[in-house]
Chains A and B, each alone.
Chain A
């Protein structure tokens, strides 16, 4: 009995927080838009019983998915989102790895403080932090004022409302998710491994490349997924920091939902996005499992 509960709890969790919402969204994606409350048809009428359910099912179709293939907007948005998410993930890795490395090599008594500092930004609302970036990056913003006052530039840089601002926003926001897993991997590492590598003929750089990087691989992979997955569906950062040219699936989704009031198409876009995300998530899970098995 106890065993049953132990297994049941995570499955209930999965069912309540993932499967039920997914089924609802999936159902809407198969229906047609309508000027009504809610704005799609058919809706499930429990009063009509089994007959009602059958007629409900018969009205569902794949039309919206077909529609997504007819307009190049959607796949272009998926690809563009993928590119932005991938680029941001790489940038976050490039920024996050040295930070994690520095933390793991810092004296023991500092580490707790450094960890605290990494987590500290979470104590402020995400929106406020993104808005403050608008204040920093705008044409009259702090960054331009700073650079101009030192005479480094004569014309203000246009950063806000470009993809660069989106990258800055994503890297900034998700940096802790990259740092923490890499840090925990590096912290476990025995420093004598690096000495052994040097002793066996590696320069500092090759020792880093052949020993440190492979041993922090799990952290790199975990951190990359933790950044890539939310960045792919990101809406707030591109809509606040990005320009109108920044094409991301999150924004397309918003437009389908709000401008077109087309819940069924919006749901279809969301279902596809989820499928795109599920593949890396499964890969990630398998990787984790492999790791656990290897560690026995």
Chain B
């Protein structure tokens, strides 16, 4: 008995030591990975993985800028990444530790370079578009069979929104994505940093504001799947997840995703290592693990987002690689735009405009 106790305490002590030595802390978006990949990582590498989630770039950025977050890997979107690199929040990647780096897709790397020159600080995890998720049955009921579900007309034309209001419309609570969309609807440059141009978005958004049930960046997945709402302006993969949940629930709800024909925002979620990461070596091992073609494919097959990993494409299921909503064809790809981060002054204008639109104040 005494011996058993001794062995137990010793084992516990050893485990504790091992844990403190080999531990990697990852901070990723919510609902953004196949959890099997996490346990597989621990099995393959013997490194304990601590996985936390967030649901807004702002929360992540605040942690990064406050410093000392304790995370080894974080996943900001392109524009936020760029700003945080400027603030000195990240360390350069050591390519020597990333044997799978050759798997990355040059088409995507060419686009992420505008946020992270030479892709020195980050690798692409997923990318996607921001567009329209609709409950096809309910929208047809409200607007008829020829409802413009592939156009910004659906959500920015007050006449349409008035009819949709009864079945519920959610917008992302993300001004950096919604204001460019309003500008695209007006035919302006969505990536404009000009105060006067940005101000033009106000009229568009204010006109349809009364018909928007909620501005929120994650609730729409469930709301769409349950049939609580009929339209969500959200992220491609999230809407496709809602589509799947509705299928599984067999509740008669049919969801479709479309990147608007007037142009859709293309965004990139980049994995990067904070400058003060406690365990950068393990962080590199985690990035290398994600860059493995099979793992990247498994992640995309699960979350319905396209990834930046060329080598993973043969392993993707047809549902993903064959869906133009996820991997757009050449023509759609041309129609996508990217944005660059606002400076502090313009950011304040944008936030203030957004508050005014949302609250009327």
Contacts and interface: CB of A to CB of B under 8 A. Distances in A.
Are A and B physically bound partners? yes
Interface of A: 33, 35-39, 71-73, 76-77, 80, 138-140, 161, 243-247, 252, 255, 257-262
Contact of A37 (B65, B344, B347): B65
Contacts of B322: none
A245 B66 CA distance: 30
Contact of A73 (B56, B58, B66, B361): B361
A258 B354 CA distance: 14
Interface string B44-67: 000000000000101101101111
Interface string B330-361: 00000000000000100110011011101111
B86 interface: yes
B83 interface: yes
B175 interface: yes
B228 A258 contact: no
A279 to B, nearest CB: 24
Which applies to chain B's interface (DSSP): helix, strand, loop or mixed? helix
B227 A140 contact: yes
B355 A260 contact: no
Contacts of B83: 35
11 contacts: A161-B213, A244-B212, A244-B214, A244-B215, A245-B360, A255-B355, A257-B62, A258-B62, A260-B348, A261-B61, A261-B347
A261 B361 contact: no
Contact of A77 (B175, B354, B361): B361
Interface of B: 56, 58-59, 61-62, 64-67, 83, 86-89, 168, 173, 175, 212-215, 226-228, 344, 347-348, 351-352, 354-356, 358-361
B168 A139 contact: yes
B87 A258 contact: no
A245 to B, nearest CB: 5
Which applies to chain A's interface (DSSP): helix, strand, loop or mixed? loop
B61 A245 contact: no
Given A244-B215, A246-B359, A260-B347, 4 more contacts: A35-B83, A71-B352, A139-B168, A261-B62
B361 A37 contact: no
Nearest to A35: B87
A140 B228 contact: yes
Q: Nearest 3 CB-CB pairs, A to B?
A: A258-B58, A244-B358, A39-B65
A252 B228 contact: no
Contacts of A247: 359, 361
B88 A258 contact: no
B214 A261 contact: no
A258 B67 contact: no
A76 B243 CA distance: 40
A140 B227 CA distance: 9
B344 A261 contact: yes
B155 to A, nearest CB: 15
A35 B86 contact: yes
A244 B355 CA distance: 9
A105 to B, nearest CB: 43
A76 B361 CA distance: 8
Contacts of A252: 355
B56 A245 contact: no
Contacts of A71: 352
B61 A244 contact: no
Nearest to B359: A247
A140 B56 contact: no
A243 B214 contact: yes
A258 B358 contact: no
A149 B264 CA distance: 43
A243 B215 CA distance: 8
Given A36-B87, A161-B214, A244-B212, A259 B351 contact: yes
Contact of A245 (B58, B347, B352, B358): B358
Which of B89, B213, B356 has the largest number of chain A CB atoms within 10 A?
B213
A73 B88 CA distance: 32
A73 B355 contact: yes
B344 A35 contact: yes
Nearest to B83: A35
A244 B344 contact: no
A71 B352 CA distance: 10
A258 B348 contact: no
B65 A261 contact: yes
Contacts of B87: 35-37, 39
B61 A139 contact: no
B359 A244 contact: yes
